Structure 1
Amino acid sequence: MKTVAIIFLITIILSSCKVSNIVTPTNEVGTLPRKEGKHYVLGVRGECEMCQEEIEKVARFNVKGVSFAYWIQNDQKLLVDFDPTKTNIDSISIALARWGYDTERHIADTKTYNALPHCCRYR
């Protein structure tokens, strides 16, 4: 019975993941990251507080090496600190695009974008 419950739980977790492998790079890919003060800056599109929570969570917990992430809704930019020996700005951008959020470096595929809550859609 425990095995069935564990398999059921794993199936639910995996089916709820919003991961897509399709992202479209922009002309910014591979360029040096911008800095404002001590933070790197990445343009990330979003609409609401839920977007802020998700964007920050994806950057901090889905990308190894990220120690700080704060999204500013009015400016549509993510302030991020990371260990350059473990990750880079393009990896962070890809993680966000795979979650459905367009960045200045990568565009999310339409299917993943459409899976965002209605309040988070900006296109």
Structure 2
Amino acid sequence: MRKLIALIIVGMAFNFGATAQDFAKYDKVIKVKTSAVCKMCKERIERDLSLTKGVEKAILNLDDKVVTVAYNEKKTSPEKLKEAISKIGYDADEVIADQKAHDRLPDCCQKDVKPH
């Protein structure tokens, strides 16, 4: 039983460390503070950003609401990425969420709702 618990803990630690290492292979990486609230927000932001021109990888950490994005600088820029997040309906650093996109989000994903 102790071996199983130890293996689970090591596996979890290895999994969390893999995220940071995954981004090490990319030349351009940006971290953007968002107004995401829940797992649905995480799925929506990661999915929509992955479909954005120039985005190679996007992962949102719900604990600190920061999305880490690896991108091709020949195809996009940090400003365009923040604008893309805004058009999804979320704040992106100093860029306020597009109001129409924000209003289309489910009630649980609205930025004035308490985290759940």
Tell me which protein shows more strand as a share of its residues: 1
- Runs (4+) of structure 1 exceeding 4 A deviation are none
Q: CA RMSD in A?
A: 1.5
Q: Does 1:122 align with 2:105?
A: no
Map residues 1-123 of structure 1 onto 2, 5 A cutoff.
38=24, 39-61=29-51, 63-123=52-112
Q: Is the Cα contact below 8 Å between 2:90 and 2:111 reproduced in 1? A: no
- Is the Cα contact below 8 Å between 1:65 and 1:83 reproduced in 2? yes
For structure 1, the 5+ residue unaligned runs are 1-36
Q: Is the 8 A contact 2:88 2:98 kept in 1?
A: no
Aligned residues: 86
TM-score under structure 1 length normalisation = 0.64
State the 1:45 CA deviation. Answer: 1.2
Q: Hey, which of these two has a bigger chunk of helix by percent?
A: 2
Relative contact order higher in (CA < 8 Å, ≥ 6 apart): 1
Structure 2's unaligned 5+ residue stretches are 1-22
